[in-house]
Amino acid sequence: MGRVLLLHGLIVLCAAVAHAQSPSAPIALRGGKLLTVSHGVIDNGVLVIDNGKIAAVGRSGEVAIPKAARVIDVKGMTVYPGLIDSHTNLGLTEITQVAMTNDLVEPSDEITPHMHVYDAFHAESELIPVTRMNGITNAIVAPAETNTLPGQSSLVQLDGRSRDQMLLVRDLALMMNFTGAQRRNETWDSRKFPQTRMGLAAQLRQAFLDAQDYAHRWEEYEKRKAAKEKDPSLKDKERPKRDLKLEALLPYLEGKKPVVLAAEEASDVEVALSLAREFNLRVVLNHITHSQTLLDKIAEAKLPVIVGPIYRTPKDNERYDVVYRLPAELARRGIKFAFASYDAHDVRNLPYAAGYAVAWGVPYDEALKALTLNPAEIWGVAAQLGSLDVGKTANVVVADGDPLDVRTDVKRVFIAGREVPLTSRQTALRDAYMK
Amino acid sequence: MRRPLLALIPLLGFAALAPAQDVTRPTGKNEIVIRNATLLTVTHGRIENGSVYIKDGKIVAFGARVDVPASATVIEAAGKFVTPGIIDAHSHSALDDDVNEATSPVTPHMRMQDAFDYTDKAVYRSLAGGVTTSLSLHGSANMIGGQAIVFKHKYGLGRDQMLFAGAPRSIKFASGENPKRVYGALKQMPSTRMGNFAVQRQALAEARDYMHEWDQYEAKVAKGDADAKRPKRDLKLEALAEVLRGHFLVQIHCYRADEFLTEIAIAREFGYKIRAFHHALEAYKVPEEIAQEGIAIATFADWWGYKHEAWDAIPWNAVMAMRKGVRVAIKSDSNDFARRLNQEAGKIMRYGGATEDEALRMITLNPAWIIGVEDRVGSIDVGKDADLVIWDGYPLSSYGRPDKVFIDGDLYFDRSLPGYGMPQYKEGN
């Protein structure tokens, strides 16, 4: 009883550990090929899951399997850490063209950093079980990119009894978009500010300046309040009005959390980066799909990159394969990068994009890392996620082959140690009509 | 007999390194042997260490033992795979965004030929993904759209060289949410599925009348009746009358099981044949009904949920329909997917366990049948057009990339070339 209570306390403290449905008996996956990500491949390995965590990893015969363990033979199978999608809309949409099922972005304003994905994330989305079936266990959920500052993303785990159990990091990062899609000039007749890149940049700059100003006003106010406690004769300073929008920017201006800066073309990346430097923002780059000329600079600045979608069509003056090759170019320069689906329904195909990047020159290990350990590091959760290592959350996938290949079938998925049933609305339909 | 590959370059008329004025155009007269490759023939299974001999634009011989004439250029392809060119049964590329005449739900007189932009880069990009033939269709705004084009991806050539000579004519119909949405927004009929089918029936009924009028007129003229009144020509009804006479392959965009059944009923009522249901994401619900009519489907591997009528899409659709006797193609419907249809077919092996042959057939011979060119392309067979792809890895995986793409025996894409991997022909082709 005491142990259960203690466990429960831990869950509340750290949702990443496990949730209430974690099995009590340890599980041992025996005989499989372990792609540990952090320390190579172990053929004929054993992985032990206990209390929602990875309890042991090693060669068969060298790892003690607990007596009470449920042993699962995974001979001929591949075992790897759950995959992480570094940018999705999962849980914010159900059917793209059915407006009432979408919570993707607040279109009335371009600057909405006080939007929190965790307020809308739909834990019961039918898209989530579909996604898990291809071994994706974690996702960074972000609002749609049509606003300059559409809101703050969340890191979720794709299984849990409730939304709150699935949210590992509620406000993970500030999304900042400068791809041009944020311009409000879709039609001349409905034009409004900002219509140009200049407008976008000015608007962004003003927003950050307003936030600095806001912080300053509060500081002054608090200072005076403190001083007045010592010297009551001092005049009151007017209490600033609370402004959630500006308040939301403060942790980012203080460099406490990363800003995910999306731009595609080199010139846009440079403008957005200079804006970020102006305000000392900690930057993770996003997309950069047409920025081949800038890659050395990015490497020099040691900026991490969320890359893709690698299927984005090149520009008419570009080779057909420039976007396919981009991850390889990043890998070649030692830039830390992670893959993303930038989608909701299509998240399940994330590993295949990584496979395609391998075909176009990314070393295999690097590609797998860009779906696991790299994102865990970029998002600050490498202590819990991203590799088959003792002490990490037991997000573990068993498949009948190469995880990056389209032909591979995922056989088992464990999230926080719990084996997730590989069923979805789609398998239910399949089974109903197969009869 | 073996010659260095470099020797090919002048022979085949490549130009990437040479100044544009030195370039000769594809000849259609090459004599080439691709050898020691794994052949995925589609109709004769897999042949290890196989060779294909092409001459004058056609496949002359293939197999594990092919005599290599001294006159032929040899391409050594050990460790590589050779497939027939991929065929895309549903695309909108090369139409310069002129895809929908969305001003009336019935526009059978729209001819995609009139919008054909053969310089569209999308043609080159899907060529680089192994696609050699595409059916480019009117969009889905209209219940009855327009007349499609079939073209080969001979990027860099002109209009006449690219259009697939002798391919039958296809026409596009569409039902479901798109016509509802387009005309609903204009507060016009159709804005419901009932409206959709009423519009379709009305148009076909008018076409039937028109056809009878002309038949009667011509009969009178044949009898020597000098007073016979010549009916007015109406392009719209004329095109639909040709549908009724069976002169078009009817390609219908529709998603839902109930729509397949209604379209089948209407086709029976008016006496025309449906060639294929496109999208057809719910084919798994009524596969027998579709198979019985001899209708094929051109569907996605796993795309779903983008609209309500795609909500019941499942990635097992293709295999479930195939097992019940439906001829299945995987198509792109997008310039993006068209670049990697091989991977999309690979997914069919995973979802439902299609064999290599079955999966490959879904992007070669089956779409060829849907387009009506299965006698010419879609498999490695003697006498067929020499449309071939050499892949550097297994094509039905995440890893295979086209190294070289041949159409009618000429090389149109070569990844090893600097620049864009394609020949740059001089002006005035």
What totals of helices (H) and strands (E) does chain A contain, helices first?
12, 16
List the one residue out of A383, A388, A394 whose CA is nearest residue A368: A388
pLDDT at B19 over 70: no
**Under an 8 A CB cutoff, do B399 and A405 touch?**
yes
- Read off the pLDDT band of B424 (50, 70, 90): low
| Model pLDDT, residue A190 | 80
DSSP class of residue B118 equals: T
- Model pLDDT for residues A37-86, shown as the tens digit of each residue: 999 999 999 999 999 999 999 999 999 999 999 999 999 999 999 999 99
pLDDT at B212 over 90: yes
How large a percentage of chain B has pLDDT more than 90?
A: 89
Question: Given CB atoms, is A187 within the 8 Å cutoff of chain B?
Answer: no
**Under an 8 A CB cutoff, do A406 and B343 touch?**
yes
- Model pLDDT for residues A259-298, shown as the tens digit of each residue: 999 999 999 999 999 999 999 999 999 999 999 999 999 9
Spatial separation of the C-alpha atoms in residues B65 and B88, rounded to whole Å: 31
Token pair 């899907």 is found at B126
- Read off the pLDDT band of B423 (50, 70, 90): low
- Model pLDDT for residues B142-165, shown as the tens digit of each residue: 999 999 999 999 998 999 999 999
List the one residue out of A202, A147, A154, A152 whose CA is nearest residue A179: A147
What average pLDDT is seen over chain A? Answer: 93
Query: Considering only A4-13, A341-350, B212-221, B371-380, which range has the smallest mean pLDDT?
Result: A4-13
Provide the residue count of chain B.
429
List the one residue out of B97, B88, B85, B147 whose CA is nearest residue B121: B97
Structural contact between residues B322 and B109, judged by C-beta atoms closer than 8 angstroms: no
| Model pLDDT, residue B9 | 39
| Model pLDDT, residue A23 | 52
pLDDT at B3 over 60: no
**Under an 8 A CB cutoff, do A356 and B340 touch?**
yes
Question: Given CB atoms, is B121 within the 8 Å cutoff of chain A?
Answer: yes
Q: What angle do CA B265, B326, B343 make, to 5 degrees?
A: 130
**Under an 8 A CB cutoff, do A349 and B349 touch?**
no
Nearest residue of chain B to residue A410 (CA atoms): B350
- Model pLDDT for residues A117-150, shown as the tens digit of each residue: 999 999 999 999 999 999 999 999 999 999 999 9
- Model pLDDT for residues A147-157, shown as the tens digit of each residue: 999 999 999 99
Mutate to test the interface with A, among B360, B398, B412, B422 (most CBs of A within 10 A): B398
- Contacts with B, A 99-138, CB within 8 Å: 127
How large a percentage of chain A has pLDDT more than 70?
A: 94
How large a percentage of chain A has pLDDT more than 90?
A: 89
Nearest residue of chain A to residue B124 (CA atoms): A320
Task: Bin B159: left if φ > 0, else alpha if -120 < ψ < 50, else beta.
Answer: alpha
Query: Considering only A5-19, A93-107, A159-173, B310-324, which range has the smallest mean pLDDT?
Result: A5-19
Cross-strand bridge partners of residue A260: A175, A284
User: Averaged over A335-363, what is the pLDDT?
Assistant: 98
| DSSP-H helix ranges across A254-401 | 266-278, 295-300, 322-332, 350-359, 364-369, 373-378
- Model pLDDT for residues B58-82, shown as the tens digit of each residue: 999 999 999 989 999 999 999 999 9
Spatial separation of the C-alpha atoms in residues B94 and B32, rounded to whole Å: 30
> Hey, which of A201-215, A224-238, A307-321 has the most confident mean pLDDT?
A201-215
Spatial separation of the C-alpha atoms in residues B277 and B299, rounded to whole Å: 8
pLDDT at A304 over 90: yes
Spatial separation of the C-alpha atoms in residues A146 and A133, rounded to whole Å: 29
**Under an 8 A CB cutoff, do B396 and A406 touch?**
yes
Residues of B in contact with A409 (CB under 8 A): 350
How large a percentage of chain B has pLDDT more than 70?
A: 92
**Under an 8 A CB cutoff, do A345 and B124 touch?**
no
| Model pLDDT, residue B425 | 57
- Read off the pLDDT band of A24 (50, 70, 90): confident
Residues of A in contact with B305 (CB under 8 A): 94-96, 127, 344-345
| Model pLDDT, residue A425 | 98
- Model pLDDT for residues B100-150, shown as the tens digit of each residue: 999 999 999 999 999 999 999 999 999 999 999 999 999 999 999 999 999
pLDDT at B18 over 90: no
Token pair 């059915």 is found at A98
Spatial separation of the C-alpha atoms in residues B38 and B47, rounded to whole Å: 6
Question: Given CB atoms, is B421 within the 8 Å cutoff of chain A?
Answer: yes
Of A321, A345, A359, the CB nearest to B398: A359
Q: What angle do CA A94, A95, A96 make, to 5 degrees?
A: 115
User: Averaged over A306-318, what is the pLDDT?
Assistant: 91
Q: Compute the CA torsion angle A255, A257, A261, A262 (nearest 10 deg).
A: 180
Query: Considering only A170-179, A420-429, B65-74, B207-216, which range has the smallest mean pLDDT?
Result: B65-74
User: Averaged over B179-202, what is the pLDDT?
Assistant: 97
| Model pLDDT, residue A181 | 86
- Read off the pLDDT band of A2 (50, 70, 90): very low
DSSP assignment string, A2-22: HHHHHHHHHHHH-TTT--TT-
DSSP assignment string, A40-86: -EEEEEEEEEETTEEEEEEETTTSPPPTT-EEEE-TT-EEEEPEEEE
- Model pLDDT for residues A180-196, shown as the tens digit of each residue: 889 887 678 888 899 99
Phi, psi of B265 (to 5 degrees): -65, -40
pLDDT at B348 over 80: yes
ipTM of the complex: 0.92
**Under an 8 A CB cutoff, do B305 and A406 touch?**
no
CA-based nearest distance B282→chain A, Å = 10
List the one residue out of A426, A394, A353 whose CA is nearest residue A157: A394
- Model pLDDT for residues B355-409, shown as the tens digit of each residue: 999 999 999 999 999 999 999 999 999 999 999 999 999 999 999 999 999 999 9
| Model pLDDT, residue B420 | 72
- Model pLDDT for residues B250-264, shown as the tens digit of each residue: 999 999 999 999 999
Structural contact between residues A325 and A359, judged by C-beta atoms closer than 8 angstroms: no
pLDDT at A17 over 50: no
DSSP assignment string, B368-429: HHHHT-TTTSSS--TTSB--EEEESS-TTSSS--EEEEEETTEEEEETTSSTTSS--PPS--
Provide the residue count of chain A.
435
What average pLDDT is seen over chain B? Answer: 92
CA-based nearest distance A288→chain B, Å = 18
